[in-house]
Homo-oligomer: A and B are copies of this chain.
């Protein structure tokens, strides 16, 4: 995770100083970053080379040394509450006074470990999809005591680095990205456990179905294209499906309400006039077609496809 963040920052032209308390990890990190840069070299901007990016990354065996002069500190240690607290206490002691103190945690809102810290207003969650140098979406979740200027600065920094920041407005145990993933997995497991479908076929529903659409369009944007009247018409007609599912899961409240439909209508029509839906459908179809070509190319080089081929030969 740390090395992937280093790529994000170095690719954007920032100087990156890495500290890892494990000497063996420290000795391997540059090679790891170089390897990842080689796999994804087309994401390096302008006329820069892998070497140009690498030159902005240094590894140090002293925490105090990497913190010296740092403006933005991004912690990526193990997911243990006490470890986070101890690390952030050191940041408060050793880092420059104005430094932003960010954590990559996927589990602990800042309030759970930083409330008592002397610089708690500088603390913020900056949680990526994995790996961040390839999947740009990044959750930003401030605590109620985080300085709004810190939130703004981190949002701008992520945009400047080519990431796609999303703002988590309330502190929740697993923020939103992991909640959404977990909800999908819960249903996948229910179908598996009820012996309705095989694991392989569950995967195909995504990788040969939704995934091809969701690579270009979020789920709300996607259903906006499924009705001539857009997302409002879609959820007015089919909202019962989602409310039935909510009930089936055990939820007490309906999820699709007139209020949520109004919010989605405002969002969707603010981006795309109804009259442009047809053009957007054609765009979606061209994008998916291009992705299918790309997938066919990539599949040729997949290791499990080769394993399968060699098994059938043997």
Within 8 A of B (CB), among A242-300: 242, 244-246, 249-253, 255-257, 259-260, 263-264, 267-268, 271-273, 276, 279-280, 282-283, 285-295, 297-298
Which residue of chain B lies nearest to A195 when distances are taken between CB atoms in the complex? B169
What chain B residues lie within 8 Å of A179 (beta carbons)? 187, 191, 245
Contact assessment for B307 and A166 in the assembled complex, using a CB-CB cutoff below 8 Å: no
| Known contacts A177-B205, A298-B283; A267/B200 CB under 8 A | yes
Docked pose: A304 CA to B172 CA in angstroms? 32
CB-based contact B217/A203 at 8 Å? yes
- Among the 9-residue stretches A10-18, A23-31, A34-42, A46-54, the one with 4 or more Cβ atoms under 8 Å from chain B is A34-42
Total copies of this chain within the assembly = 2
Asked if residues A285 and B241 are in contact (CB atoms below 8 Å), the reply is no
| CB <8 Å contact, B294 and A291 | yes
Q: Is the CB of A279 within 8 A of B250?
A: no
- Tell me if A156 counts as interface (CB < 8 A to partner B): no
Determine the residue in chain B with the shortest Cβ distance to A181.
B210
Interface pair B196/A207, CB less than 8 Å apart: no
CB of A136 within 8 A of CB of B208, answer yes
For the complex, is A198 an interface residue (Cβ under 8 Å from B)? yes
Tell me, yes or no, whether A145 is within 8 Å of chain B by CB: no
For A36, the chain B residues whose CB sits under 8 A away are 285
Residue of B nearest to A214 (CB): B211
| B residues less than 8 Å from A82 (CB atoms) | none
Q: Mark A107-146, 1 if CB is under 8 A from B, else 0.
A: 0000000000000000000000111001111010000000
Query: Main secondary structure on chain A at its contact with chain B?
Result: helix
**Contact pattern, A 162-178, Cβ under 8 Å of B = 1, otherwise 0:** 00101111101010111
Judge whether B220 and A304 touch: CB under 8 Å. no
Q: Are A289 and B176 in contact (CB under 8 A)?
A: no
Cβ of A3 to closest chain B Cβ, rounded Å: 13
Number of interface residues of A (CB under 8 A): 114
Once bound together, how far apart are the Cα atoms of A245 and B303, in whole Å?
33
Identify the interface centre among A209, A285, A301: most chain B CB within 10 Å of its CB.
A209
A309 CB within 8 Å of chain B: no
Interchain CB contact under 8 A, A166 and B289: no
Query: Bound state CA distance, A183 and B210, in angstroms?
Result: 13
Give the distance in Å from the alpha carbon of A200 to the alpha carbon of B40 in the complex: 27
Whether A166 and B201, one on each chain, are in contact in the complex, defined by CB atoms closer than 8 angstroms, is yes
A21 interfacial contact with B, CB 8 Å = no
Does residue A312 face the partner (Cβ distance < 8 Å to B)? no
Given A183-B245, A189-B256, A249-B250: 6 more A-B contacts, CB < 8 Å: A39-B289, A166-B205, A185-B255, A186-B255, A189-B255, A207-B216
Chosen A-B contacts, 15 in total, with CB atoms closer than 8 Å, are: A39-B289, A129-B209, A131-B285, A137-B209, A169-B197, A179-B191, A180-B188, A185-B255, A189-B246, A189-B256, A190-B255, A198-B267, A204-B218, A206-B218, A207-B215
